[in-house]
Amino acid sequence: MSAGSVTTRLYPAGILNTLSRNEVERLRDVSQGDLSELVRRCSLAVLNSGNESDDAEALLEQYSDFRIEVQQVNRGLRLELFNAPGSAFVDGKIIEGIREQISSVIRDLVYFDSEIKASKQHDLGSSAGITNAVFEMLRNAQALVPQVEPDLVVCWGGHSISRPEYEYTKACGYELGLRNLNIVTGCGPGAMKGPMKGATIGHSKQRTSLRRYFGISEPGIIAAESPNPIVSNLIIMPDIEKRLEAFVRLGHGIVVFPGGAGTAEEILYLLGILLNPANAKIPLPLVFTGPPGASTYFEQIDQFIRLTLGKEASSRYRIVEDDPTRVAQIMARGMHKVRKHRIAKNDAFYYNWLLNIEESFQIPFVPTHENMQALELSRRLPLHVLASNLRKMFSGIVAGNVKPEGVKSIREHGPFEINGDPEIMESLDALLTSFVANNRMKLPGGKAYEPCYRLIK
């Protein structure tokens, strides 16, 4: 048994409390099949919430004897935890927020596996089918609230940022909360926690009745970015592409704080969608912001975007330095534009159906060495296609840095090889070099950074 571990049983929270006997039996059967290891790993990440470690492999090794069983009882559903991290308990009783988040893990993973992936009604090979699947995942997670004005601000940024950058994200969250705006993040620490923490104070001052702190993650990254305790609704999407689509379908505006390769991936995903001519007139306020010391980060990002995607891409965002009030004001004004547009187009407030997302942004990209080397990074491509390929490239770097499968692949086969137009490679080299120099490409466990990629010039 691991040191400081606990064995206990508990009843789940939320929607899992109201399942029929047939649903409980099906959930139990599914959770004991091929899905069991995924449920175990994601549940362990939730139980580790609040700990400093971002090393997924080390966590799995430390608690290699952890198990979770879904049991059917007369009352419906019960969870049995074996050798769980002791930090998730107070006086032998599980912390309530962690109990809720474990329930969310089971709810989402099992729902996707049994109701969407296994259903002939869902075509996960088509754009419309994937968008419907994302909708159903969010609806099942009770994230879609009808008859509520647009108020969700997606906040992206790094999970391991400096203290001044973290304090700045809290200040922005506070200003957003004062304007009754709610927060969606990737659910982890750093820039994903700060805006929620700040918003709680702003919401408290305004006596905001509907407070929503959504955290959207996916199985490959959740252990490196365990959910922070402020998340009121944790949502586990099946892969990074559906996670990204959930952000842009659910949110009404986006604020980007400093980060690393993962943040660059998110930026390129969004710009690639906005550069699609079909989305030219869809309002989606987008702000890049940080404290004075973080200005270099967005200067590098801006230069890279202008070189690769041009002025049209740079026109879709604003860079605001050291001004949380202005950031919140831009988002508040943007909400009014979103509201007017949704009404004019008869689109829902709670889900951005009209946003056109092509399959290249939706079909899961597997970052193997072969797939990374085959990515075409050329300015001859349509801008939104180039953005899609650049997004995949950064996704591969994230996988090679922090995801267990990616880390293992790099260890066995060496770094990914990335090639493209000389100008793009030079600009990419400068960007990635600046990430490394500014300690934005950290490896799990605080190890010295060794690139998981090699640029072919």
Residue 178 and residue 85 share a domain? no
Residue 411 and residue 373 share a domain? yes
List of residues 6+ apart from 129 with CB closer than 8 A: 122, 123
Residue 385 and residue 315 share a domain? yes
Which amino acid, 68?
A: I
Within-domain flag for 432: yes
Last residue of a domain, one of 88, 121, 154: 121
Within-domain flag for 24: yes
Helix (H, G, I), strand (E, B) or coil at 158: coil
Within-domain flag for 309: yes
- Domain with 112, as residue range(s), is 5-121
What is the token pair recorded at 311? 């002025």
Phi, psi of 454 (to 5 degrees): -135, 120
What is the structure's pLDDT at 54?
60
What is the token pair recorded at 130? 């994937």
Within-domain flag for 137: no
Within-domain flag for 128: no
Instruction: Decide if 328 contacts 172 (C-beta within 8 A).
Output: yes
Within-domain flag for 191: yes
Which amino acid, 258?
A: P
Residue 353 and residue 279 share a domain? yes
Smallest Cα–Cα separation from 240: which of 213, 260, 214, 269? Answer: 269
Alpha-carbon distance of 183 to 195, in angstroms, equals 7
Q: Which residues of the chain have pLDDT under 70?
A: 1-3, 17-20, 26-27, 30-31, 50-57, 75, 442-447
Alpha-carbon distance of 261 to 440, in angstroms, equals 8
* CATH code (residue 387): 3.40.50.450
Within-domain flag for 132: no
Q: How many domains does the chain have?
A: 2
Residue 353 and residue 223 share a domain? yes
The helix (run of H) or strand (run of E) holding residue 6 is strand 5-10
Residue 236 and residue 294 share a domain? yes
* CATH code (residue 83): 3.30.1850.10
Residue 88 and residue 150 share a domain? no
Residue 168 and residue 95 share a domain? no
DSSP collapsed to 3 states, 96-137: HHHHHHHHHHHHHHHHHHHHHHCCCCCCCCCHHHHHHHHHHH
What is the structure's pLDDT at 424?
94
What is the structure's pLDDT at 1?
43
Alpha-carbon distance of 425 to 227, in angstroms, equals 35
Last residue of a domain, one of 90, 121, 152: 121
Terminal C-alpha separation, the chain: 50
Residue 199 and residue 231 share a domain? yes
Last residue of a domain, one of 86, 121, 156: 121
Residue 10 and residue 151 share a domain? no
Within-domain flag for 134: no
Residue 104 and residue 148 share a domain? no
DSSP per-residue codes, 251-313: -SEEEE-S-SHHHHHHHHHHHHHHTSGGGTT----EEEEE-GGGHHHHHHHHHHHHHHTHHHH
What is the structure's pLDDT at 444?
57
Residue 217 and residue 113 share a domain? no
Q: How many helices (H) and strands (E) does the chain have?
A: 16, 14
